[in-house]
A = this chain, B = another copy of it.
Amino acid sequence: MEAKARIEAALEEAVAAATAVPCPSRLAEAIAYAVFPGGGRVRPGLCLAVAQACGDPDPALADAAAVAVELLHCASLVQDDLPCFDDAATRRGRPTLHKRFGEPIAILVGDALIVTAFRSVAAHAVRSPAKVGAMLATLASAAGAPAGIAAGQAWESEPDVDIDAYHHAKTAALFEAAAVTGALAGGAEPAGWRAAGGLLGEAYQVADDLADALGEARRLGKPIHQDGGKLRPNVVTKLGIEAAGRKLDELIEQALESIPPCRGRDEVEAFLSATAARLYPPALRAAR
């Protein structure tokens, strides 16, 4: 099965389990709303691309990891949109989850998705304890505190922000986890893959800040100029558009260079290049 189809099928299965009887019906509907239809599925795509580059010896475990990183990402989007964070009314061209289902359900969907992410990987603990133990530790680091998504969002409540720690926690950590869990599922040494994933994640953050600064309709269909208006620390406000564009080029180049030796190098390079190409805001893309 092609990677995109594998990801959707695995997500369908995880969501079906989380929303089975006796799940309250609004919560069930909202969990599905948070996950489908998806955005780019970039993080699970990276996870499977790495697993496949390593020979994909355990597709079920790779799928479980891909599900986990995507569900953690979906949870973070639902939370980001809440009134006390970005207070966003739309995402991907439709009402945000709390606008559609209310704030209590939105907060509970976040919890349920985080729990389901861990359950997805933990289900393989008995047959692959070493890989699953390492995967769960990686996912926990990427999602929680002191340096995962929760910590990343929490930097926005600090009077003085360490912008590198902020961006790493909020974005790069989950990209690293996608690459690392993919490598673990592939039976490979994860250290080199962590670097590649982290660089792609950093590039993703810079691209997001650029798109915001350039005032373009964003790929995610959410309102623009969120970051500037909220005085959120941002690589573009720090470096300027020109330098941020060069930073994006460098990060993508470094990500490609950092791919560890593997049998499917061409395929994973193609995945990274295609993902990177989509990162450039249209105004910058034309110049490339």
Interface residues of A (CB under 8 A from B): 17-28, 31, 75, 79, 82, 84-85, 101-105, 107-112, 114-116, 118-119, 122-123, 125-126, 129-130, 132-133, 136-137, 140, 143-151, 153-158, 162, 165, 169
- Chain B contacts for A158, CB-based, 8 A: 24-26
A149 to B126, CA, bound (A): 26
A87 to B246, CA, bound (A): 47
Evaluate contact between B116 and A118: CB separation under 8 angstroms: no
A126 to B108, CA, bound (A): 31
- Chain B contacts for A132, CB-based, 8 A: 122, 125, 129, 133
> Which residue of B22, B102, B151 is within 8 Å of A27 (Cβ)?
B151
> Which residue of B129, B140, B157, B165 is within 8 Å of A104 (Cβ)?
B157
Shortest CB-to-CB span from A228 to chain B, Å, is 19
Q: Is the interface of A mostly helix, strand, loop or mixed?
A: helix
> Which residue of B82, B107, B126, B137 is within 8 Å of A79 (Cβ)?
B107
Q: Which of A18, A31, A144 has the most CB of B within 10 A?
A: A144
- Chain B contacts for A114, CB-based, 8 A: 111, 114-115, 144
Evaluate contact between A112 and B24: CB separation under 8 angstroms: no
A123 to B130, CA, bound (A): 10
Evaluate contact between B85 and A146: CB separation under 8 angstroms: no
Copies in the complex: 2
A104 to B110, CA, bound (A): 13
Given A82-B107, A129-B129, A22:B119 Cβ within 8 A: no
Shortest CB-to-CB span from A102 to chain B, Å, is 6
> Which residue of B28, B149, B162 is within 8 Å of A145 (Cβ)?
B28
A165 to B143, CA, bound (A): 29
A31 to B105, CA, bound (A): 23
Shortest CB-to-CB span from A100 to chain B, Å, is 12
9 contacts between A and B (CB under 8 A): A27-B150, A28-B146, A84-B103, A84-B104, A104-B156, A108-B153, A115-B148, A119-B136, A136-B136
- Chain B contacts for A144, CB-based, 8 A: 18, 111-112, 114-116, 119
Evaluate contact between A146 and B23: CB separation under 8 angstroms: yes
Residue of B nearest to A102 (CB): B157
Evaluate contact between B140 and A133: CB separation under 8 angstroms: no
- Chain B contacts for A17, CB-based, 8 A: 146
- Chain B contacts for A108, CB-based, 8 A: 145, 150-151, 153-154
Given A115-B144, A125-B132, A155:B24 Cβ within 8 A: yes
Given contacts A19-B145, A24-B158, 4 further A-B contacts (CB under 8 A): A27-B150, A84-B103, A111-B111, A122-B136
